[in-house]
Structure 1
Amino acid sequence: MKTFLGELYGSIPLEIRFGRQFGIHKALLEKFENGSEQYKQDYIYNKILETLIFAEKHIPYYQKTFAEHGVSSKDFKAIEDIAKFPTLSKADIKKNLDSLYTDVRYKPVAHYTGGSLSTPTKFYLAANSRAKEKVYNNYIFTKIGYKYRTPTVLLKGREISIPEKEIYWEYEPIDNYFLLSNNYLNSDKFPLMYEKAKAFRPKFFFGYPSAVLSFVKMSKRYGLEPIGIEGIILASETCYPDEIEIIKGFFKNAKVLSLYGNSERDVIGYRVGERYNLLGSYAAMRVVDGEIVTTSFDNFVMPFINRKSGDFATGEIETYGKSDIAKTVGNIEGRTKDFLVSEDNRLVSITTMCGGQHLPLEDIDAIQYIQEEPGVVTVLVEDPNHRVDIAKVKEGMHKLVRDGIDFRVKVVDKIEKTFRGKRVICKQALDVEKIRLEKESRQN
């Protein structure tokens, strides 16, 4: 019944399912992509101005900080003037959340960051923001031939395994995805998972680079032939050129697309060749001292202005006009690909630990994972006010991983940063690569 209803719902045209906003954003995207250089700069200017005007009229935090910096929307005369406005850090968001959003136009819906996992951050979006996200993702995926609801293996997102029933997969009928458990890709359950995925007859893979690489390595270990697919969409983690070559070398003739976006929905881009293309109709992405700084468009609940993302752009940067708003960049480096090691030496990507629905993130300032032996992980939770419920954190961790790791949660006043001021999400004392190789040797 779930599958039948899901497929029925999935067959409804997106313009109907997501409402009027879907058609509006689709038309704006297409017009922008086909527009002249002057049209694009004018569009970006008007969208930034719209965001600034809304923010200073309805958002107390921006009213205060604009006044402190002596700027207002009247000072925004050209797109490069966005550099005059103050930046917004994750610490600013956490400290001033209640004065950073409004319900004057839409009902706010709570979300949590999914990228910089060491500092989980709560924020708000309007419910209809999903329509815009769907438009842009679908447009980007067409760059390698994907059409909505083409059969796709999904290697990202929530943990779906039920080990006691020997189930390590799940079918999602709405988008026609076949989900595989990331936590069991590096286990002896892989051949069973592979056969289930192959029987689905997918045309695409969509997942974390670390998960797709694990699928490749495990397929080779067990002597399994590549599944014949047309393309791979990589998301949520930094992916380096040598890793892409490994993936391409295994999935012969398959195109590889790297997607860049975030939970805040204030930047989106993609790479098929050697450079990332940023979609300027979606939001404005600047590069300041190497760091990606974003300004949202169309967010009339909690607009982001010059938000410091913590991600970095490298290589040559192509910009619009005299501004530092990026059109293309060479590479983007962001989310971590550290691993935890389970009791039976499975490698669990740290990205799996992103689960706002399972953790009391509103009480957590930062998280750090420390491991010195397989199957045991100390979790430091930064909470100087000691509001967090340790039992809830531990329960949430086990929901994310299911089994194989004993999480020992400790609340601390402060988690130390590196000398450069960066947070370290995972202090891994185990030699992950050695464990991987030893396990491969035993199984071979």
Structure 2
Amino acid sequence: MTFEEILHAYRSVYYSFPQPLKTFLGSLYGSIPLEIRFGRQFGIHKKLLEKFENGDEQYKQDYIYNKILETLIFAETYIPYYQKKFKEHGVSSRDFKALEDIGKFPTISKLEMKEHLDELYTDVRYKPVAHYTGGSLTTPTKFYLAANSRAKEKVYNNYIFTKIGYKYRTPTLLLKGREISVPEKDIYWEYEPIDNYFLLSNNYLNSEKFPLMYEKAKAFGPKFIFGYPSAVLSFIKMSRRFGLEPLPNIEGIILASETCYPDEVEIIKEFFPKAKVLSLYGNSERDVIGYRVSDHYNLLGSYAAMRVVDGEIVTTSFDNFVMPFINRRSGDYATGEVTTYGSSDIAKTVGNIEGRTKDFLVSEDNRLVSITTMCGGQHLPLMDIDAIQYIQEEPGVVTVLVEDPDHRVDVVKVKEGMHKLVRDGIDFKVKVVDKIDKTYRGKRIICKQFLDVEKIRAQKERQESA
């Protein structure tokens, strides 16, 4: 095991140390080069990434082809469920002769992953480590990765962050991750010396403690902000509410782990006009990664293969020799122009990523309405709302929770704005609450969708094609 694998396994012990001891040990560990901390895999993936990014078009297509073929052969040899699926569909790795042939292979859904988990992973090469998706709506989906997969993830994240000038261990304000507040001691922040992050509690950003948290963050002197879009927006809203200036010297803002809507990006840019804003796209399964700095998302082809099939993002993993994913239906949807490698449908860029299947509302006549539509700042007083959540249990009826502890929001205008956006087919029932719960890691749950959106979408497609 590498140093990083050992530390990650015992991170809860490290987190429990007093801050002075954690600062001493973390700073010492953070000064060790990443190639040593993460081991041999870090150097391998760094070289592969650099060679791919500097390669010509033919090299990139050949690289992706060989990686997909490697994944197909491994799955066909060691993974019982893929052996069965391939046989049912009459395909084998021998049928993969060009990039476009990946479309011949069957897809796999999250439901299949849950129902056939024991047939989808192996320990022939590495010890499987259990991971879980966020599970903001239902039971989290369990899957397996090798412990050394974190090395590859670190390589790619660091590379992507350089697109806005970030260098590893540059002082960064972190607005995501585990909860670190100690209310009984009036502490709502924590310094993490390994990556040189200063964390603020997401659960207290929208509280009267914010000015104190702001001053602690300002004293730290961050040059970058890395967080959930909802947390960054909360930071901006509370700064304005208390008349506080934007943090000085912020060069860039990295948004991750939540869907980020265009209006939200504009709010962030307006508040931090000198900062570059980067939206990171990835997932827990580590079978897709990309980023957006301008008007589209760039997908890194050396990391994994991503396709857009009927609007949905479908992924095939590379280097996962525990539980490979082949044509995994992600539940995320892409819109806008898609550019691809050669004559295949493997994506280089996509215009926008709208979010997961659960981020759709269902009208009375079974139309699907993207939450992106509901985030039009021209109709909703977004800057007066700390948080919003949509809950749907039956078609055509949506309960909207508006977080407004100070009772400043005009509920009638919010409801009128929503009806103006959707036109008809959904009865919005707006309720004002003091607080909307987040996940245990502080992520917002913008939509609690209890309807089977995938089933409804499939029914609509069948009706339209009939």
TM over 0.5: yes
- Deviations 1:232-273, CA, capped at 9 Å, x for gaps: 000111212222121111112100000000000000000011
Which residue does 1:392 correspond to in 2? Answer: none
Which residue does 2:349 correspond to in 1? Answer: 328
The 1:116/1:65 distance shift into structure 2, 3 A limit, reads farther
Q: Equivalent of 1:201, from 221, 241, 247? A: 221
The 1:213/1:400 distance shift into structure 2, 3 A limit, reads closer
Partner amino acid, structure 1, of 2:105:
F
Which residue does 1:75 correspond to in 2? Answer: 95
The 1:78/1:158 distance shift into structure 2, 3 A limit, reads same
1:134 matches 2:157: no
Kindly report which structure 2 residues correspond to 1:5-404, keeping only aligned pairs within 5 A, or say none.
5-114=25-134, 117-118=137-138, 120-228=140-248, 229-334=250-355, 338-339=388-389, 374=433
Q: Return the alpha-carbon distance in structure 1 between the equivalents of residues 252 and 187 of structure 2.
A: 26
Q: Return the alpha-carbon distance in structure 1 between the equivalents of residues 338 and 326 of structure 2.
A: 21
SS of residue matched to 2:291: strand
The 1:42/1:148 distance shift into structure 2, 3 A limit, reads same
Which residue does 1:442 correspond to in 2? Answer: none
Provide structure 2 residue ranges, at least 5 long, that are not aligned to the other structure.
1-20, 360-386, 390-400, 408-428, 443-448, 458-466
Percent of counterpart pairs with the same letter? 80
Partner amino acid, structure 1, of 2:286:
R
Partner amino acid, structure 2, of 1:53:
I
Select between 119-128 and 49-58 the one with higher mean Cα deviation.
119-128
> 2:182·2:188 contact (CA, 8 Å) conserved in 1?
yes
Partner amino acid, structure 1, of 2:295:
E
> 1:233·1:257 contact (CA, 8 Å) conserved in 2?
yes
1:41 is displaced (CA, Å) by 0.4
1:417 is displaced (CA, Å) by 2.9
TM-score, normalised to structure 1, is: 0.79
The 1:295/1:122 distance shift into structure 2, 3 A limit, reads same
Q: Return the alpha-carbon distance in structure 1 between the equivalents of residues 268 and 147 of structure 2.
A: 36
CA RMSD, 1 decimal: 2.4
> 1:115·1:262 contact (CA, 8 Å) conserved in 2?
no
1:138 is displaced (CA, Å) by 0.2
SS of residue matched to 1:88: coil
1:330 is displaced (CA, Å) by 0.4
Which residue does 2:452 correspond to in 1? Answer: 417
The 1:97/1:345 distance shift into structure 2, 3 A limit, reads farther
> 2:315·2:325 contact (CA, 8 Å) conserved in 1?
yes
Superposition misfits of 4+ residues, deviation over 2 angstroms = 114-119, 335-346, 370-377, 397-401, 414-422
Partner amino acid, structure 2, of 1:246:
I
The 1:16/1:190 distance shift into structure 2, 3 A limit, reads same
Q: Return the alpha-carbon distance in structure 2 between the equivalents of residues 93 and 48 of structure 1.
A: 20
> 2:107·2:327 contact (CA, 8 Å) conserved in 1?
yes
1:314 is displaced (CA, Å) by 0.4
TM-score, normalised to structure 2, is: 0.75
Provide structure 1 residue ranges, at least 5 long, that are not aligned to the other structure.
347-369, 380-396, 402-413, 423-444
Q: Return the alpha-carbon distance in structure 1 between the equivalents of residues 253 and 439 of structure 2.
A: 30
The 1:240/1:103 distance shift into structure 2, 3 A limit, reads same
> 1:115·1:236 contact (CA, 8 Å) conserved in 2?
no
1:185 is displaced (CA, Å) by 1.0
> 1:184·1:190 contact (CA, 8 Å) conserved in 2?
yes
> 2:143·2:323 contact (CA, 8 Å) conserved in 1?
yes
SS of residue matched to 2:153: helix
Q: Select the structure with the greater relative contact order (CA < 8 A; seq sep ≥ 6).
A: 1
SS of residue matched to 1:334: strand
Partner amino acid, structure 1, of 2:96:
F
Select between 236-245 and 13-22 the one with higher mean Cα deviation.
236-245
> 1:114·1:262 contact (CA, 8 Å) conserved in 2?
no
Q: Return the alpha-carbon distance in structure 1 between the equivalents of residues 435 and 273 of structure 2.
A: 39
How many residues align? The count is 369
Q: Return the alpha-carbon distance in structure 2 between the equivalents of residues 240 and 195 of structure 1.
A: 28
Partner amino acid, structure 2, of 1:134:
K
